[in-house]
Amino acid sequence: MSHSALLDVLKGRKPSRRPVWFMRQAGRYLPEYRETRAKAGSFLKLCYAPELAKEVTLQPLRRYDLDAAIVFADILVVPQAMGLGLAFAEGEGPIVEKITGAERVNALRPLDEADEVRLVCETVRLVKAELPADIALIGFCGAPWTVASYMIGGGGENGREAARVVAAARPDWYAELMDRVIEASATYLVRQIDAGADVVQIFDSWAGDLPGYLQERLVAEPIAAIMEKVRRQRPGVPIIVFARGAGAGHKRIGEITQAECLGMETSMPLGWAREVLSPAHVIQGNLDPLLVEAGGNVLEEGVRLVAGALPRERHIFNLGHGMRPGTPPAHVEQVVKDLRRLDG
């Protein structure tokens, strides 16, 4: 049985090649995704239709020579499974029912019986059954800070600012909310692992909003609390922490979480990541998604510089953030081909 290059790197083995996958590798930039989404009726219906969600998870793998699939779902599955209203307005971001105080926090449901979780895990099971052994399956959840910022702010720019004030002021109910999100997220990851996820990634997309002195308390410690629960229940499953925008804070986040791998946002200098972080952590990232959209020589140069910054034993090639909806699929194919050529 062949090994997954991605798992090899995460487990400290020598990989046969430099592993690559892309955040938001399934999505609107692919015409076949748009077709399947139309069949489902909406993005959320697609997330909860396991056969169709399996299809969109596998679509990028049919086009490109990738080393991992990521289950098609959303970080907002967790708040929804806890009982909060969720909608996606066409062409806009998510709209989440807002938490305004202790009463609503106390009325949140534990995640165990949630249909949303059962359906995403069914997708994981279906994907796993079709995936070749050398392609890893990634499960995921949002980090407590990012998820709480949607639960408090309801989505959108101003919402994130409202959440920041609440988190800094720390009313009692914020601590209770964090505890519940931590518990739910750990349960959700364990369920995805049991359904077939080989690796899990924790997305803290809004880590960069916070002042540096709050990163430890609001980003690193809640993520570490999820990881402690997951590792106690399912030891040996590698965890990728993507605290987007943490900058130099990635070092402390790595120390506190002991993540096998740290994801780097586009702005991170990979030379710094190699020297300061890669002795202890595999590094994931961080090609500029804009260059993938642009294509041509700038893209080729970007791929060369990112791949050249780290040895393949310590690197998972990825973007610095999600694929942009306007990205031509041919450019993505070029990235993978250039990478394989450079690696050869």
Q: Catalytic residue positions?
A: 24, 28, 37, 74, 150
**Binding of residue 120 to ligand CP3 (CB under 6 A):** no
**Binding of residue 140 to ligand CP3 (CB under 6 A):** yes
The residues in 29-58 that bind ligand CP3, with binding defined as CB under 6 A, are: 37, 43
Per CB under 6 A, which region of 22-30, 104-112, 166-174, 280-288 contacts ligand CP3? 22-30
Determine the residue type at 182.
I
Here's the x/- map for ligand CP3, 197-236, by CB under 6 A: it reads as ------x-x-------------------------------
**Binding of residue 68 to ligand CP3 (CB under 6 A):** no
CB of 205 to ligand CP3, least distance (A): 3
Cα–Cα distance, 238 to 68 (Å, whole number): 13
Cβ proximity to ligand CP3, 47 vs 224, nearer residue: 47
CB-based contact 177:105 (threshold 8 Å): yes
Q: Burial-class residue 211 by CB neighbours within 10 Å (0-12, 13-18, 19+).
A: exposed
Q: Is the dihedral of CA 275, 9, 244, 82 positive or negative?
A: negative
Which phi and psi angles does 211 have, rounded to 5°? Answer: -65, 150
Q: From the centroid of its chain, how far is CA 153?
A: 21
Q: What is the DSSP letter of 276?
A: I
Cα–Cα distance, 191 to 193 (Å, whole number): 5
Cβ proximity to ligand CP3, 97 vs 313, nearer residue: 97
CB of 137 to ligand CP3, least distance (A): 12
Q: Give the residue nearest to ligand CP3 (CB).
A: 205
Q: Burial-class residue 139 by CB neighbours within 10 Å (0-12, 13-18, 19+).
A: buried
**Binding of residue 23 to ligand CP3 (CB under 6 A):** yes
Which residues of this protein are in contact with ligand CP3, per CB under 6 A? 23-28, 37, 43, 70, 72, 74-76, 93-94, 140, 203, 205, 322
